[in-house]
Amino acid sequence: MIDIKLIREEREFVKENIKKKFQDEKLALVDEVYELDIKYRHFKAEADRLRGEKNKLSEQIGLFMREGKKDEANKIKEDIGEISSKIAKLEVDEEKLAQEIKEKMMVIPQIIDDTVPIGKDDRENVELERFGEAIVPDYEIPYHADICESFNGLDKEAAGRTSGNGFYFLMGDIARVHSAMLAYARDFMIDKGFTYCIPPFMIRSDVVNGVMSFAEMDAMMYKIEGEDLFLIGTSEHSMIGRFKGSIVKESELPICLTSYSPCFRKEVGAHGLEERGLYRVHQFEKEEMVVLCRPDEAMTWYDKMWQYTVEFFRTLDIPVRTLECCSGDLADLKVKSCDIEAWSPRQQKYFEVGSCSTLGEAQARRLGIRMKTDEGNKYVATLNNTVLATPRGLIAFLENNYQEDGSIKIPKVLQPYMGGKEIISPNK
């Protein structure tokens, strides 16, 4: 949610930002909020004036009573009663207008960074940099589900019976690699100075509304029937929500956290679920990083965070590239975002394994997260980034460490989490 001062003082600037995101249907909202805000401030000013008048009259009651002038005192009491009724009506109007303004403001997109490329959708995202040599071996890399099945490590048929399409059983060495990668991701971020957390896996609707747009919520979130609770789609939701309504000391910033959680997503949309494989599923696990910092430090942290993910994947011998998200591909709360994509030697192309975003003050405004400074309380900036989301990360690992004999090479950094194994071999 943007600062309403921008609409009061720079309406055309806000409209230009909407045009950059190719959301012209939202342009009218800017003028609507502007007019509603004028009415709101008028009602508020009138209510404040009447409160001041009421206070002055209240002081006179005591004076008249001490002087024995009951009739005058009673007349003032009647006047105060009338003023109180007017104030009460104005307060109702204020609250109604404030809610209407808030609902419209939450739909107006965040102001994007000047460096964001302009484009309509993800087809116009821009490649930034490649890390590691994208090798295609001279032997065939099987489909990842076939690799898993050669280890007796995947059972989607049974998961279909227990849970339906979009779920899976991982078993044996494949399950162990999956868990080893998450444990390594945890320790990797702890070594970077982040505090490890395990958050709640369900959150209330007011937190959901604070961390994401309505369109994202409808497409992603599972609601718990009969309760004001949603299953998280990423631990960022809980981690940012933890600070709802908080005022942190400026000296405590930046707050750097890394969190593990299972994640649950409907995966509604054109992409659909993957019938055999694990690329797009309803349930996965994730190691996330979240930073709360001063707004002027947000871009510095943004660059640090995506670089951490690149470094993590390179230690697993997985080539990656970064892809800048264009304006039309940015979620409404984001200021700037890039995807980290892993190389698929089987498909001979890159695919998304993570995303890094700075959201400016958007989430902080929605959730009331501020920092205490010498100049008063100010909103913090929030950022989030995927360290590892798996089984998608598992796919990248299996393909890039697959050997000609069907075995999987275990990189040195992962061997301590695999009981010292340097290689795992398929079942004969």
Q: What is the mean pLDDT of each run of 10 residues along the chain (428 residues)?
A: 92 97 96 95 91 82 72 79 88 92 93 96 96 95 95 94 93 97 98 97 93 77 93 94 96 97 80 74 96 97 98 97 96 96 96 96 95 93 97 96 97 97 91
Q: Which domains does the chain have, with CATH numbers?
A: 4-105 (1.10.287.40), 122-424 (3.30.930.10)
How far is it, in rounded angstroms, from Cα 296 to Cα 292? 12
With contact defined as beta carbons under 8 Å apart, do 284 and 390 qualify?
yes
Determine the longest span between alpha carbons in the chain, in angstroms: 106
How far is it, in rounded angstroms, from Cα 359 to Cα 336? 7
Residue 349: enclosing H or E segment and its boundaries? strand 349-358
Within 8 A by CB and 6+ apart from 257, the residues are 194, 195, 196, 197, 239, 289, 290, 291
Q: 172-191 and 298-315 are packed helices; what angle lies between their axes, rounded to 10 degrees?
A: 140
pLDDT at 269: 55
pLDDT at 24: 96
Phi-psi region of 309 (alpha: psi -120 to 50; beta: other; left: phi over 0): alpha
How many Cα atoms within 13 Å fall on the side-chain side of residue 28? 1
pLDDT at 309: 98
With contact defined as beta carbons under 8 Å apart, do 344 and 338 qualify?
no
Q: What is the DSSP string of 273-309?
A: --SSSSSS-SEEEEEEEEEEE-GGGHHHHHHHHHHHH
Q: Tokens 């709101």 label which residue? A: 40
Q: Tokens 């989030």 label which residue? A: 384
How far is it, in rounded angstroms, from Cα 94 to Cα 40? 6
Its pTM stands at 0.89
Burial of 274 (0-12, 13-18, 19+ CB in 10 A): middle
* Residue type at position 302: Y
Burial of 412 (0-12, 13-18, 19+ CB in 10 A): exposed
How far is it, in rounded angstroms, from Cα 21 to Cα 111? 10
Residue 376 DSSP SS3: strand
122-126-130-136 Cα dihedral, nearest 10 degrees: 50
DSSP 322: E
How far is it, in rounded angstroms, from Cα 427 to Cα 25? 57
Phi-psi region of 376 (alpha: psi -120 to 50; beta: other; left: phi over 0): left
pLDDT at 270: 47
Q: Which two tokens stand for residue 24?
A: 């012209």
Residue 372 DSSP SS3: strand
Q: Which two tokens stand for residue 148?
A: 């898993």
How far is it, in rounded angstroms, from Cα 194 to Cα 207? 23
* Residue type at position 280: R
Residue 127: enclosing H or E segment and its boundaries? strand 126-131
Q: Tokens 């071996």 label which residue? A: 137
With contact defined as beta carbons under 8 Å apart, do 137 and 404 qualify?
yes
Per the DSSP assignment, residues forming a β-bridge with 249 are 372
Q: Indicate if the alpha-carbon torsion angle 75, 80, 85, 89 is positive or negative.
A: positive
With contact defined as beta carbons under 8 Å apart, do 237 and 177 qualify?
no
Residue 170 DSSP SS3: strand
